[in-house]
């Protein structure tokens, strides 16, 4: 039986996971996007309106437009948040955002500007129910803080009863049976100072280096894409090394105009990137990458 979260299923198979933007948060677009080429749909709340009503409608549309050709009820959906993870206090003050997107049925959250392990631990704790004890006490991780009452709607999206939902809505790989993917953007100079400690917090599954914000923090108005100056190359290597040591999947694009799509994809695979981004060339990059790695799961 396949997992609910096909991104986790792919990572467990050693296969890269490809993403696309979710687009308009409506029921109708959800039905359309149920047939997406992407493994994961990214919902952008970091810079766009925080529309949880639209997100819930989109998730229902995905469900009604499914199942996917891979046999999953929906593609995996991961959302960013309007708030950052710069401090523990910031995460706690905005914990309601975490509750609301999880209650809409998403399969993961990608938190931004993760500057210190205390903030990341608070992020993980807010995503977990208090009866989940795996990892509690490890590296300072406290008990879960997610409350009862919001599990009925996401359980329906996931195709399980609420009592099962609360057991599997837990971060993977900390909980091997968990279906939530929690990620971090380690994306500025302040984040770099704690990259290793931030990536090592139990409950995190993936991370990226956020080249746009990373470039700005080094004084560049727009250095999202390569070629990169030496200090950004060093930043990339710092985050990549932290992910390797912590066993996290690394999310990264490589939109170098001097390279062919095949060269770009090979560069990402050679770096060990397990969540390749392709920007406007995303679908073509995914097709090339799946062929290179012998992907068997239907798209």
Q: Is residue 101 part of a domain?
A: yes
Q: Is residue 170 part of a domain?
A: yes
The arithmetic mean of pLDDT across residues 28-41, rounded, is 99
Q: What percent of the chain has pLDDT over 90?
A: 98
Instruction: Specify whether the CB–CB gap between 123 and 106 falls below 8 A.
Output: no
Domains in the chain, number: 1
DSSP H or E segment with residue 79:
strand 76-79
The DSSP output letter for 146 is: P
- Helical ranges in the chain per DSSP H: 6-12, 27-33, 52-65, 88-93, 95-103, 117-127, 152-158, 162-168, 189-193, 195-199, 211-217, 230-246, 261-271, 282-293
Q: Looking at residue 2, what is its pLDDT?
A: 77
DSSP H or E segment with residue 110:
strand 108-111
pTM score = 0.98
Summarised one tens digit per residue, pLDDT across range 90-104 is 999 999 999 999 999
Residue 283's pLDDT band (cuts 50, 70, 90)? very high
The arithmetic mean of pLDDT across residues 228-252, rounded, is 99
Distance CA 23, CA 87 (A): 30
Instruction: Specify whether the CB–CB gap between 45 and 52 falls below 8 A.
Output: no
Q: Is residue 93 part of a domain?
A: yes
Residue 10's pLDDT band (cuts 50, 70, 90)? very high
Q: Is the pLDDT of residue 1 over 80?
A: no
The arithmetic mean of pLDDT across residues 266-275, rounded, is 98
Instruction: Specify whether the CB–CB gap between 192 and 235 falls below 8 A.
Output: yes
Distance CA 96, CA 264 (A): 39
* Domain of residue 43, residue span: 6-293
Q: Is residue 298 part of a domain?
A: no
Instruction: Specify whether the CB–CB gap between 202 and 127 falls below 8 A.
Output: no
Q: Is residue 99 part of a domain?
A: yes
Q: Looking at residue 278, what is its pLDDT?
A: 87
Distance CA 147, CA 130 (A): 8
Summarised one tens digit per residue, pLDDT across range 216-236 is 999 999 999 999 999 999 999
CATH number for the domain harbouring residue 220: 3.20.20.60
Q: Is residue 273 part of a domain?
A: yes
Distance CA 199, CA 185 (A): 10
Tokens of 202: 């139990």
Q: Is the pLDDT of residue 211 over 80?
A: yes
Q: Is residue 299 part of a domain?
A: no
């Amino acid at each position: 039986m396949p997992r609910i979260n096909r991104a986790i299923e792919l990572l467990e198979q050693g296969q890269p996971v490809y993403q696309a933007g979710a687009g308009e948060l409506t029921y109708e677009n959800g039905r359309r996007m149920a047939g997406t080429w992407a493994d994961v749909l990214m919902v952008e709340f970091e810079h766009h309106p925080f529309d949880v009503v639209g997100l819930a409608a989109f998730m229902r549309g995905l469900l009604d437009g499914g199942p996917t050709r891979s046999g999953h009820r929906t593609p995996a959906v991961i959302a960013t948040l309007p708030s950052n993870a710069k401090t523990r206090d910031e995460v706690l003050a905005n914990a309601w955002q975490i509750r609301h997107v999880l209650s809409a049925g998403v399969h993961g959250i990608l938190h931004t500007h993760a500057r210190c392990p205390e903030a990341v631990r608070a992020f993980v704790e807010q995503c977990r129910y208090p009866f989940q004890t795996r990892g509690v006490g490890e590296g300072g991780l406290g008990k879960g803080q997610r409350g009862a009452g919001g599990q009925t709607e996401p359980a329906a999206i996931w195709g399980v009863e609420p009592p099962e939902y609360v057991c599997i809505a837990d971060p993977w790989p900390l909980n091997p049976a968990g279906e939530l993917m929690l990620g971090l953007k380690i994306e500025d100079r302040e984040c770099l100072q704690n990259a290793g400690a931030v990536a090592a917090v139990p409950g995190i599954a993936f991370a990226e280096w956020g080249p746009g914000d990373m470039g700005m923090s080094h004084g560049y108005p727009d250095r999202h894409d390569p070629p990169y100056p030496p200090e950004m190359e060093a930043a990339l290597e710092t985050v990549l090394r932290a992910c390797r040591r912590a066993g996290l999947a690394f999310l990264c694009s490589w939109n170098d105009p001097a390279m062919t799509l095949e060269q770009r994809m090979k560069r990402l695979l050679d770096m060990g990137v397990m969540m390749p981004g392709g920007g406007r060339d995303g679908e073509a990059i995914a097709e090339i990458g799946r062929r290179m790695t012998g992907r068997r799961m239907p798209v």
